[in-house]
C-alpha cells in the first residue's frame, strides 16, 4: 500500500526510539497497533457493506427484469387466449345461428304438413 521497505522501517524505528524514548516506546507501539487494527477492521466493514449494497442493487435490478418479463409473458398469453377464443366463438355463433334457422324451418315444415280439418 505505502511500499515501505525494511530499511525505511528501521529508520522510522530508530527515530521513534530517540524521540519517544525507550520507556514509552512499547506502550506507543501497542497503542499504534491497536489503532491500526481498528482502522483495518473499519475499512473491511465498509468494504463488505459496499459489496452487500452492490449485490442488493443487482438483485433488485434482476427482480425488476424478471417481473417485467413475467408481465410481458402474461400479456402475450392473454392476447393469444383472446385470439383463440374469438376464432372459436365466431364459428360457434354461426353454427348456432344455422341450427336455429334449421329448427325454425323444420317447425314451419311440420306446421305445413298437418292437414287442415274440413269445416263442419
pLDDT tens digits for 82-116?
A: 988 888 887 777 877 787 877 776 777 665 555 55
What is the structure's pLDDT at 98? 81
Question: How high is the mean pLDDT of the chain?
Answer: 85
C-alpha dihedral (25, 30, 34, 36), degrees to nearest 10: 50
Residue % of the chain over a pLDDT of 70 = 86
What is the structure's pLDDT at 103? 73
Q: Which three cell numbers stand for residue 104?
A: 325454425
Residues whose CB falls within 8 Å of the CB of residue 17, separated by 6 or more in sequence, listed in order: 25
Between these two residues, 46 and 96, which has the higher pLDDT value?
46
Half-sphere exposure (CA, 13 Å, Cβ side) for 78? Answer: 6
Q: What is the pTM of this model?
A: 0.49
Residues 54-62, mean pLDDT to the nearest whole number: 96
Amino acid at each position: 500500500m505505502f511500499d515501505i521497505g525494511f530499511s525505511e522501517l528501521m529508520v522510522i524505528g530508530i527515530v521513534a526510539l530517540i524521540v519517544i524514548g525507550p520507556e514509552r516506546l512499547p506502550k506507543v507501539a501497542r497503542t499504534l497497533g491497536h489503532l491500526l487494527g481498528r482502522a483495518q477492521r473499519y475499512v473491511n466493514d465498509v468494504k463488505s457493506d459496499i459489496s452487500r449494497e452492490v449485490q442488493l442493487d443487482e438483485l433488485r435490478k434482476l427482480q425488476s427484469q424478471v417481473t417485467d418479463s413475467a408481465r410481458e409473458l402474461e400479456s402475450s398469453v392473454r392476447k393469444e387466449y383472446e385470439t383463440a377464443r374469438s376464432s372459436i366463438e365466431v364459428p360457434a355463433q354461426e353454427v348456432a345461428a344455422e341450427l336455429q334457422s334449421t329448427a325454425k324451418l323444420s317447425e314451419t315444415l311440420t306446421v305445413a304438413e298437418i292437414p287442415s280439418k274440413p269445416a263442419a
